Structure 1
Amino acid sequence: MTVAGTEGRRSNRRGMATRENMLDAALRSLASGDPGAVSASRIAKEIGATWGAVKYQFGDVDGFWAAVLHHSAQRRGDIPATVTAVGAPLDTRVAAIIDTLYDGLTSHHSRAIENLRAALPSDRTELERLFPRTAAELSSWGDTWLLACQHAFADLDVDPRRVREVAAFIPGAMRGIVSERQLGSYYDPDEAKRGLTNAIVAYLEQSQQR
């Protein structure tokens, strides 16, 4: 191998390491919950980098936030394989999905993403106009989640429309349960999860009986 080739590989590894450091620093900073943490230049300074380095790695702030979201998605927990095991009962599958979401939403990665999303435009059209790559990454999360839910119940005789409805409301319902826990609610989150699981199971079972 030539000296130039060796140096090129080393440079590429350094570049990837810098990129990973920036993304990890972003998640740590965003997880603090400080609205001021939603600043690419501030995050760069925290690791001794410049705004120019951020632009070199990600293009612009939109590319940076899109990369942060993608970086987080690669590290979040997937729905356990046991959920889709042939013969697994409906209630076991739903409970596993609920537990997986709960664990994910109580992680520091989730706190980081919530902080980032709170600083982004809430209007979808405005988000897509100002941060098209970030919006596309968020949209892909929804698509991936829906496919995961459809796969989880694919071998069961349940109404696909109801699966879509369940996939649509579970994230919001789970955020509510997690929020109650974080605010110091007197409600038992485990009891809330069981109640939600039972409600979803009953709803999906009704479609099996038709």
Structure 2
Amino acid sequence: MSEGVATGRRANRRGLATRESMLDAALRVLASGDPTAVSANRIAKECGATWGAVKYQFGDIDGLWAAVLQRTAERRGDQPWRSDPEGPLDRRVSKIVETLYRGLTSPDSRAIENLRRALPHESAELERLYPHTGAELASWKHRWARACQLAFDGLDVDPVRVREVAAFIPGAMRGLVSEKQLGTYSDLEEARRGLTNAIVAYLGGHA
């Protein structure tokens, strides 16, 4: 192996390690929930680098946010409820509800929420100012819809109703998680059970 090749590989490994460190720092800062965390300079300071070094790795702030979102998607991996292809409808729905309830309290979810709160809320404006970030978020919608269709594969359920459930359940679960975080007199276990039963009835054709 020539010295040039070896040096190039060492540099590549260093570059990858630097990129990983920056992404970890970005997620750590964003997960704090501090609105000022959605800042390139704040993240550069957290990882002990300059904004120029961050820009070298990601191109611009749009590239950084898109990479942060991609990292969270990679860490989520395949949704766990797809591992029960023979389960009955109620068990599959319960798995989705409980998995989302746990997942939405994770540091990655807090980081995503903090970032999304700071980004433009209108999709056209988001895509104009942050095209890569907008494209990544848009891809989540399609992957989520597909995951929900696969979750009920083999069951006699209306695909239109599955799409409707896929559209509303993330917001419904964020509402329950918000209640938990703010403090509530409601029984959230009962609330999740009620939501599960309502979805089962709807998908089962009883609504």
TM-score bracket, normalised by the shorter chain, equals over 0.9
Match of 2:76 in 1: 76
Q: Give the C-alpha shift of residue 77 in structure 1.
A: 5.7
- Alignment partners' CA distance in 2, 1:174 and 1:12: 41
Deviations 1:157-180 (A, max 9, x none): 111000000000000000000000
Identity, % of aligned positions: 69
Match of 2:117 in 1: 118
- Alignment partners' CA distance in 1, 2:78 and 2:33: 24
Deviations 1:37-65 (A, max 9, x none): 00012101111111111111110000000
Match of 1:194 in 2: 193
Match of 1:27 in 2: 27
- Alignment partners' CA distance in 2, 1:81 and 1:162: 18
- Alignment partners' CA distance in 2, 1:144 and 1:172: 16
Q: Give the C-alpha shift of residue 3 in structure 1.
A: 1.1
Match of 2:139 in 1: 140
Query: Where in structure 2 are the equivalents of 1:29-178 lying within 5 Å?
Result: 29-76=29-76, 78-80=78-80, 83-86=83-86, 88-178=87-177
Q: Give the C-alpha shift of residue 78 in structure 1.
A: 3.6
- Alignment partners' CA distance in 1, 2:98 and 2:78: 11
Deviations 1:134-164 (A, max 9, x none): 0000011111111100001121111100000
1:78–1:100 Cα contact (<8 Å) kept = no
Give the number of equivalent residue pairs.
207
Match of 2:178 in 1: 179
Q: Please give the root-mean-square deviation of Cα atoms over the aligned residues, in Å.
A: 1.4
Provide the secondary structure at the position in 1 that maps to 2:205: helix
Q: Cα gap change, 1:82/1:74 in structure 2, threshold over 3 Å: closer, same or farther?
A: closer
Provide the secondary structure at the position in 2 that maps to 1:75: helix
Q: Give the C-alpha shift of residue 15 in structure 1.
A: 0.5
2:65–2:133 Cα contact (<8 Å) kept = yes
Q: Give the C-alpha shift of residue 102 in structure 1.
A: 1.0
- Alignment partners' CA distance in 2, 1:127 and 1:79: 27
Q: Give the C-alpha shift of residue 76 in structure 1.
A: 2.1
Q: Cα gap change, 1:153/1:37 in structure 2, threshold over 3 Å: closer, same or farther?
A: same
Provide TM-score, normalisation by structure 1: 0.95
Q: Cα gap change, 1:163/1:82 in structure 2, threshold over 3 Å: closer, same or farther?
A: closer
Unaligned runs of 5+ in 1: none
